[in-house]
Amino acid sequence: MTAKPATTAKADPNADANPIPSVWTRRQREAQQPALSRTAIVREAVLMLDAEGIEALSMRKLGARLNAGATSLYRHVATKEELMELAVDEVCAEITVPSPELAREDWRTAVTQAAGSFRTTALNHPWLSSVLGQAGLAYLGPNLMSFSERLAALFTAAGFPEPTRAIDTVVSYVIGMSTTEAAWLTTVARSGETEAGFIARLMPAAQQAAAGHDHLTDAYAATASEAVDPVEIRDTKFAYGLDVVLDGLALRLPR
């Protein structure tokens, strides 16, 4: 008997082609549980991240908060990494960027407002800066894409010949400062004290550690003698550094 030639299996036209492991490149499957939406999952994940940090987030714990099993969550979000991409994009919708018209009139004010909004969002969600600092696939999200596009329009209107490089400089500064600031505020929050109270309790140990280091001793002594609001100190530090960055970028504008 003559053997029949083997048939070649046809490719499933509905199969997901996912060359990049990101939620933004994967086709979303039809929901199996109408009551449990991706939107609800992401919003609850953001609340959990804000309260407990990245280390505490897991699909099992999140499912418990939503009164659903982890398996139910996986029907909407394939992995924890995808969940983080969605959470990042969710909170980045809070960042505001001024119009290009303001940049044409006063580009420093426009950039300062955008950087300030970015910093405020990062401090409202202390986990955000560390994730953005990884420069991963989260940047493919629609809200982050919109943020990047609006920044590009702002810096282009300001007259920068290479707006992308100027944007990278400002964004890197904000992420760097916000990462440090968010870590500090997380430490304060875990102490159960106010920021001013935590600093007051920490200061004697800092002054003792600075003994023999003249410049540090003077700096700590000045800080201890001044009744300055810690929030004002942080705001001033951020503004000073941003001014330095903008001074440098101003040299790149066509004369």
Do both 79 and 124 map to the same domain?
Answer: no
Total structural domains in the chain?
Answer: 2
The CATH number of the domain holding residue 40 is 1.10.10.60
Q: Are residues 124 and 80 in the same domain?
A: no
Residue 255, pLDDT score:
79
Q: Which of 62, 92, 122 lies at the terminal end of a domain, its last residue?
A: 92
What pLDDT shows up at residue 18? 57
Return the pLDDT at 132.
87
Which residues of the chain are under the pLDDT cut of 70? 1-19, 21, 23-24, 26-35, 135-138, 225-226
pTM: 0.82
Q: Would you say residue 46 lies in a domain? A: yes
Q: For residue 228, what is the domain's CATH number?
A: 1.10.357.10
125 lies in the same domain as 218: yes
Q: Are residues 134 and 235 in the same domain?
A: yes
Domain that holds residue 43: 23-92
Per-residue HEC secondary structure of the chain comes to CCCCCCCCCCCCCCCCCCCCCCHHHCCCCCCCCCCCCHHHHHHHHHHHHHHHCHHHCCHHHHHHHCCCCHHHHHCCCCCHHHHHHHHHHHHHCCCCCCCHHHHHHHHHHHHHHHHHHHHHHHHHCCCHHHHHCCCCHHHHCHHHHHHHHHHHHHHHHHCCCCHHHHHHHHHHHHHHHHHHHHHHHHHHHHHCCCHHHHHHHHHHHHHHHCCCCHHHHHHHHHHHHCCCCHHHHHHHHHHHHHHHHHHHHHCCCCC
Residue 134 lies in a domain: yes
Query: What pLDDT score was predicted for residue 16?
Result: 52
Residues 205 and 183 reside in one and the same domain: yes
In a domain, 146, yes or no: yes
Same domain, 85 and 185: no
114 and 143 assigned to the same domain: yes
